[in-house]
């Protein structure tokens, strides 16, 4: 770990409390002057650090900046070195895909404070303003059959709900297939991309991209105002941070991808479903939208619907809308 990482790790760990320059110097194995220089650098990056005579350095208690050091505090040591946080990238999925091609290990996580070209499903853009969300992409190399791999997004939506619930106490729901809602607002979208080997066409790894709106720091574009929401519309309670949420997300994704062969998460997916039992409109791009009643979630993640003629159908792709809730148009 670099000296800068060690200083930041100690400050994040003791957030709101002072640590002496001597103490920091000792744990980073550097001089007090070198600590001072690192602190100046962190302040230039935007960290609010106060220096109190005879007490030392203190990171402001309401600090909420994404960092690998801040995320790793909440994760087991085995994850050390697998978290990569950037200030700005075009898309964390694109960066993670490149890392996957270069051999990144299962569980490698890429995060950014902002994305200049965040990608949504079906070629759409994902609004990713600075310091407002958790934009995370994970490289997954699960040992799954092709059929099981289709359940990654289904499992990921349960992972997102659990992480949000554990960190914020709010109980999100899922609109098939993988949009996460609080009330009638979409607060998270998921985009899974396969990374295949050019030579043999086989899927080598999967990049799982998760975008959670945490707290808006800038006004939403008009077209999102009626559809998108954030975990916190007012003040973010002190002590809840994006680092904490990112760590919980990574932990839950790891847990739930392990459960794919047993389908153990499907019951929770059903319980969190926004569509089951409702009349929905199905848009599958190859035909005119049509109405049906959402009756169940198939073992392979498909949505079982009852058509107006009484017959049952399982849909695997497309989008559904419920009256009053449809976030993509």
Chain residues in the site for ligand BTN (CB under 6 A): 91-93, 115, 118-121, 124, 126, 135-137, 189-191, 209-211
State the nearest-atom distance from the C-beta of 211 to ligand BTN, in Å. Answer: 3
State the nearest-atom distance from the C-beta of 251 to ligand BTN, in Å. Answer: 17
CA 285 centroid distance within chain: 27
Instruction: Give the nearer residue to ligand BTN in terms of CB position, either 3 or 108.
Output: 108
In angstroms, the Cα distances linking 302 to 39, 82, 110, 296, 306 are 52, 32, 29, 9, 13
Which of 70, 167, 142, 156 lies closest to 113 in space, CA to CA? 70
Instruction: Give the nearer residue to ligand BTN in terms of CB position, either 60 or 122.
Output: 122
Which of 199, 190, 216 lies closest to 130 in space, CA to CA? 216
How deeply is 88 buried, as exposed, middle or buried, from its count of CB atoms within 10 A (0-12, 13-18, 19+)? exposed
State the nearest-atom distance from the C-beta of 312 to ligand BTN, in Å. Answer: 28
Instruction: Give the nearer residue to ligand BTN in terms of CB position, either 67 or 178.
Output: 178
Instruction: Give the nearer residue to ligand BTN in terms of CB position, either 127 or 269.
Output: 127
State the nearest-atom distance from the C-beta of 96 to ligand BTN, in Å. Answer: 8
State the nearest-atom distance from the C-beta of 26 to ligand BTN, in Å. Answer: 38
* CA 315/CA 319 separation, integer angstroms: 10
State the nearest-atom distance from the C-beta of 91 to ligand BTN, in Å. Answer: 3
Closest CB to ligand BTN: residue number: 189
* CA 164/CA 247 separation, integer angstroms: 11
State the nearest-atom distance from the C-beta of 122 to ligand BTN, in Å. Answer: 7
> What are the CB-based long-range contacts (under 8 Å, 24+) for 165-171?
166/248, 166/252, 167/240, 167/244, 167/245, 167/248, 168/231, 168/232, 168/240, 168/245, 170/231
Instruction: Give the nearer residue to ligand BTN in terms of CB position, either 57 or 181.
Output: 181
* CA 104/CA 93 separation, integer angstroms: 13
DSSP of 270-303, one letter per residue? HHTBSSTTSEEEEE-SSS--EEEEEEEE-TTSPE
Instruction: Give the nearer residue to ligand BTN in terms of CB position, either 209 or 302.
Output: 209
* CA 87/CA 101 separation, integer angstroms: 22
Residue 52 token pair? 């109190």
State the nearest-atom distance from the C-beta of 93 to ligand BTN, in Å. Answer: 4
* CA 266/CA 155 separation, integer angstroms: 8
State the nearest-atom distance from the C-beta of 136 to ligand BTN, in Å. Answer: 6
* CA 144/CA 123 separation, integer angstroms: 27
Q: What is the dihedral of CA 238, 240, 242, 246, to 10 degrees?
A: 170
Instruction: Give the nearer residue to ligand BTN in terms of CB position, either 135 or 214.
Output: 135
Instruction: Give the nearer residue to ligand BTN in terms of CB position, either 6 or 179.
Output: 179
Instruction: Give the nearer residue to ligand BTN in terms of CB position, either 4 or 119.
Output: 119
């Amino acid at each position: 770990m670099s000296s800068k990482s060690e200083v930041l790790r100690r400050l994040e760990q003791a957030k709101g409390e002072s640590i002496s320059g001597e103490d920091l110097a000792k744990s980073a194995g550097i001089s007090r002057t070198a600590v001072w220089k690192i602190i100046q650098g962190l302040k230039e990056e935007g960290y609010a650090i106060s220096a109190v005579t005879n007490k030392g350095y203190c990171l402001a208690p309401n600090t909420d900046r994404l960092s690998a050091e801040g995320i790793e505090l909440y994760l087991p040591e085995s994850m050390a070195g697998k978290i990569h946080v950037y200030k700005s990238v075009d898309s964390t999925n694109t960066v993670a895909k490149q890392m996957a091609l270069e051999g990144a290990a299962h569980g490698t996580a890429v995060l950014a404070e902002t994305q200049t070209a965040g990608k949504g499903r079906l070629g759409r853009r994902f609004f990713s303003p600075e310091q407002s969300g958790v934009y995370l992409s994970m490289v997954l190399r699960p040992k799954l059959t092709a059929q099981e791999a289709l359940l990654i997004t289904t499992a990921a939506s349960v992972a997102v709900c659990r992480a949000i619930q554990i960190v914020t106490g709010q109980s999100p729901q899922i609109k098939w297939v993988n949009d996460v809602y609080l009330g009638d607002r979409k607060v998270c979208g998921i985009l899974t991309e396969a990374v295949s080997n050019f030579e043999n066409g086989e899927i080598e790894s999967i990049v799982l991209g998760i975008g959670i709106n945490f707290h808006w720091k800038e006004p939403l574009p008009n077209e999102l105002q009626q559809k998108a929401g954030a975990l916190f519309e007012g003040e973010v309670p002190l002590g809840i941070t994006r680092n904490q949420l990112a760590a919980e997300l990574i932990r839950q994704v790891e847990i739930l991808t392990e459960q794919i062969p047993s389908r153990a998460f499907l019951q929770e997916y059903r319980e969190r479903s926004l569509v089951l039992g409702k009349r929905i409109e199905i848009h599958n791009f190859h035909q005119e939208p049509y109405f049906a009643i959402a009756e169940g979630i198939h073992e392979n993640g498909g949505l079982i619907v009852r058509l107006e003629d009484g017959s049952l159908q399982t849909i695997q792709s497309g989008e559904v809308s419920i009256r009053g809730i449809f976030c993509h148009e």
